Chain A
Amino acid sequence: GDSVTQMEGPVTLSEEAFLTINCTYTATGYPSLFWYVQYPGEGLQLLLKATKADDKGSNKGFEATYRKETTSFHLEKGSVQVSDSAVYFCALSDRTGGFKTIFGAGTRLFVKA
């Protein structure tokens, strides 16, 4: 079945550091890919998405590119802020899975001032 694997956390960075959170997926079809963010005490909210190969999703300085050849959708940000501290989830939604959204385990990010 479909699955999402993302790097384990926690990831601890200093403010203004470069962020990469790796995400790879397994799907039999051509899924849409998502990054969701969960701030403390809140539900998940969409950060960015990409619906086809080579698409780049971007929002709030975060970017991720849909790489079909490597089945990856890594999240990057050039300069993180303390306010970016949160849990980040990679997810996919695929026709083969009935378009259910499947989530990775989440990666907790701590940014120090």
Chain B
Amino acid sequence: DADVTQTPRNRITKTGKRIMLECSQTKGHDRMYWYRQDPGLGLRLIYYSFDVKDINKGEISDGYSVSRQAQAKFSLSLESAIPNQTALYFCATQETSGTEAFFGQGTRLTVV
């Protein structure tokens, strides 16, 4: 089983719908991240959490929200999806500062 699991792997949704992307990890890491990948733009940070009670905005948080339900779970929500949120979304975990990040396999979201 993967250490970092994202669900769903693929999703097509309509404009205006609310959608939640889920991430769970078995690495026991406190730090969790949500990134968005777009062609030519690399990975951009949406939100991050350094422990269960900590939530921080990244560089592109507008239109998104997150919930850290437990150390192992970090969900990303799009309250009202719009087409320019069509992208590949990645969840990642990190043990401590300056160490390697571990990624899930990604969720491909299409908003039509």
Contacts and interface: CB of A to CB of B under 8 A. Distances in A.
Interface residues of B, number: 26
Interface string A76-113: 00000000000001010101001111111110000000
B41 A105 contact: yes
A46 B43 contact: no
A52 to B, nearest CB: 10
Interface stretch (A11-19, A37-45, A67-75): A37-45
B35 to A, nearest CB: 8
A32 interface: yes
B40 A93 contact: no
B104 A43 contact: yes
Contacts of B44: 103
A89 B42 contact: yes
Contacts of A58: none
Interface string B91-108: 010101111110111100
A105 B40 contact: yes
Contacts of A101: 33, 92, 94, 101
Contact of B48 (A36, A41, A44, A100): A100
B78 interface: no
Interface of A: 31-32, 34, 36, 41-46, 49, 51, 89, 91, 93, 95, 98-106
Interface of B: 4, 33, 35, 40-45, 48, 50, 56, 58, 90, 92, 94, 96-101, 103-106
Report the 6 A-B pairs with minimum CB-CB distance, sorted nearest first.
Answer: A99-B97, A43-B103, A105-B42, A32-B98, A103-B43, A46-B100
